[in-house]
Amino acid sequence: MPMTITEKILAAHAGLESVRPGEIVNAKLDLVVCHEVTTPPAVAMLKKLGITKVWDPTKILVTPDHFVPNKDIQSAELTKSLRQWREEQGIERYYELGNHGICHALAPEQGHVHPGMTIICGDSHTTTMGALGAFASGVGSTDLAAGLATGELWFRVPESIRFNLEGQPPRGVYSKDIILEIIRRIGVDGARYMAMEYRGSALPYLSMEARFTITNMAIEAGGKSGIFPVDAITEAYLAERTPEKGVRYESDVDAEYAAEFFIRVDQLEPMVALPGLPSNGTSIAQAGPVKMDQVYIGSCTNGRIEDLRIAASILKGNKVAKGTRTIVVPATTTVWKQAMREGLMDIFAESGCVISTPTCGACLGGHMGVLGSDETCLSTTNRNFTGRMGHPSSKVYLASPATAAATAIAGGLADPRDYLPEDCNFTIAEQQLWGV
For 345-354, the pLDDT digits (tens) are 999 999 999 9
H or E stretch including 377?
strand 376-379
What lies within 8 Å, CB to CB, of 278 at 6+ separation is 180, 183, 188, 217, 220, 221, 382, 383, 384, 398
Residue 67 Cα to chain centre, angstroms: 17
298/238 same-domain check: no
Per-residue pLDDT 10s for the chain (436 aa) are 899 999 999 999 999 999 999 999 999 999 999 999 999 999 999 999 999 999 999 999 999 999 999 999 999 999 999 999 999 999 999 999 999 999 999 999 999 999 999 999 999 999 999 999 999 999 999 999 999 999 999 999 999 999 999 999 999 999 999 999 999 999 999 999 999 999 999 999 999 999 999 999 999 999 999 999 999 999 999 999 999 999 999 999 999 999 999 999 999 999 999 999 999 999 999 998 899 999 999 999 999 999 999 999 999 999 999 999 999 999 999 999 999 999 999 999 999 999 999 999 999 999 999 999 999 999 999 999 999 999 999 999 999 999 999 999 999 999 999 999 876 655 443 443 344 4
Of the candidates 192, 173, 401, the one whose C-alpha atom is nearest the C-alpha of residue 309 is 401
Residues 256 and 289 in one domain: no
Q: 307 and 202 in one domain?
A: no
Provide the pLDDT for residue 423: 65
Res 288: pLDDT:
84
- Do both 299 and 341 map to the same domain? yes
The reply to whether 283 and 216 lie within a common domain is no
Question: Strand pairing of 194-199 and 118-121?
Answer: unpaired
CATH number for 413: 3.30.499.10
Shared-domain flag, residues 253 and 276:
no
Q: Looking at residue 429, what is its pLDDT?
A: 36
pLDDT of residue 435: 44
Q: Which of 239, 263, 287 is the last residue of a domain?
A: 263
Q: How far is CA 317 from CA 145, 313, 314, 338, 351, in A?
A: 50, 9, 8, 20, 7
- In 108-234 the beta strands, taken as DSSP E runs, fall at 118-121, 135-138, 152-156, 159-166, 194-199, 225-227
Cis bond upstream, residue 330 (ω within 30): no
Whether 252 and 301 share a structural domain: no
Of 237, 263, 289, the last residue of a domain is 263
Same domain membership, residue 337 and residue 216: no
CB 105 within 8 A of CB 125: no
Q: Could you list the residue range(s) of the whole structural domain that residue 278 is in?
A: 272-434
Inter-residue contact 402 to 172 (CB < 8 Å): yes
Looking at the structure of the chain, the number of domains it has is 2
307 and 289 in a single domain? The answer is yes
Report pLDDT digits (tens) over 26-56: 999 999 999 999 999 999 999 999 999 999 9
Considering the domain architecture, whether residues 134 and 199 belong to the same structural domain is answered as yes
Round the CA-based radius of gyration of the chain to a whole number and report it: 21
Secondary structure E strands in 233-311: 259-264, 271-273, 281-283, 294-298
Side-chain half-sphere of 246: how many Cα atoms within 13 Å? 30
Residues 58 and 119 in one domain: yes
Q: What is the pLDDT of residue 424?
A: 62
Which amino acid, 127?
A: T
| Domain termination residue (choose one: 263, 293, 310) | 263
List the one residue out of 226, 11, 209 whose CA is nearest residue 130: 226
The b/e string for 179-216 (b: 16+ C-beta within 10 A; e otherwise) is bbbbbbebebebbeebbbbbebebbebbbbbbbbbbbb
152 and 201 co-located in one domain:
yes
Whether the CB-CB separation of 306 and 393 falls below 8 Å is answered with no
User: CB atoms < 10 A from the CB of 142, how many?
Assistant: 12
